[in-house]
Copies of this chain bind each other. A is one copy, B any other.
Amino acid sequence: MREQPPYRRFAETLRKRIDGQEWKPGERLPSRAQLADEYGVTADVVRRAQEWLISEGVLTGRAGSGTYVAERRERRRLVRSPEQEQCAPDAQWTFESRTDGMVPASPEIAARLGIEEGAYCVRTAYEYLVDDKPVQLMTSWEPYDLTVGTLVLLPELGPLAGAGVVRRMAEIGVTVTDVEEWPEPGHADAEEANLLGIQKGALVTRIQRTYYSDDGRAVETADIVVPAAKCRIAYRFPVTR
């Protein structure tokens, strides 16, 4: 076993004091200079130790303000299963949406929807909120020619505003039968971190979701960003053999 470098040892020192409730969640730690003085290490060793703990989600740093013990906020459980309309708003969840209108399909979106590159889609951006705080981002695309001339053309308008893809499609005679989700790990970019109230570079799960109708056509596809610090994702489904 090789000896740990100074910054890692100091990180463990800090972690012990945090675990011992010496500083409680949300509280500010002494400044780097103070900690360096107290332990007889350089301020840079303190900085690296804090960076390490930040990357583990134990601390969070705020420029100009200080380094804080991360709030052990209870993470939302986000269930994704066949039995329910996913991500529908309820008493606890709400969302804000903004339809950008028609945009030509990028090569990737065209492939996901099975339409021609450049064909028009209705793009809508969603922010899911709990207690008025965003906990999930989504951008969705629907083929324009699927909903043109119907009341559900714009997801956020009409009698079924906010009702979810399955119900909206049912309204125009399209039966959604399957959903496919591709979750991938990633890091939050500056914009996502800002919108979600998390640290830049924090771990997120990006989900590509596509709904399919009974004739096998893709009727909607979406990019979903779920911050690991705020949400746990659960897939639950029956086992059939």
Contact = CB atoms under 8 A, between A and B. Distances in A.
Interface stretch (A23-31, A130-138, A227-235): A227-235
A160 B181 CA distance: 31
Given A183-B183, A185-B185, A205-B183, A80 B235 contact: yes
Interface string A218-241: 000000000010001111111111
A49 to B, nearest CB: 18
A178 B238 contact: yes
Interface residues of A, number: 32
A22 interface: no
Nearest to A210: B236
B235 A235 contact: yes
A167 to B, nearest CB: 8
A81 B203 CA distance: 25
A182 B228 CA distance: 11
Nearest to A86: B239
A211 B239 contact: yes
A53 interface: no
A82 interface: yes
A211 B241 CA distance: 14
25 contacts: A82-B82, A82-B237, A82-B240, A85-B241, A166-B239, A176-B239, A177-B238, A178-B236, A178-B239, A179-B236, A179-B239, A180-B234, A182-B232, A182-B234, A183-B183, A183-B205, A183-B233, A184-B203, A184-B228, A184-B232, A184-B233, A185-B185, A185-B203, A185-B204, A186-B203
Interface of A: 80-83, 85, 166, 176-186, 203-205, 211, 228, 232-241
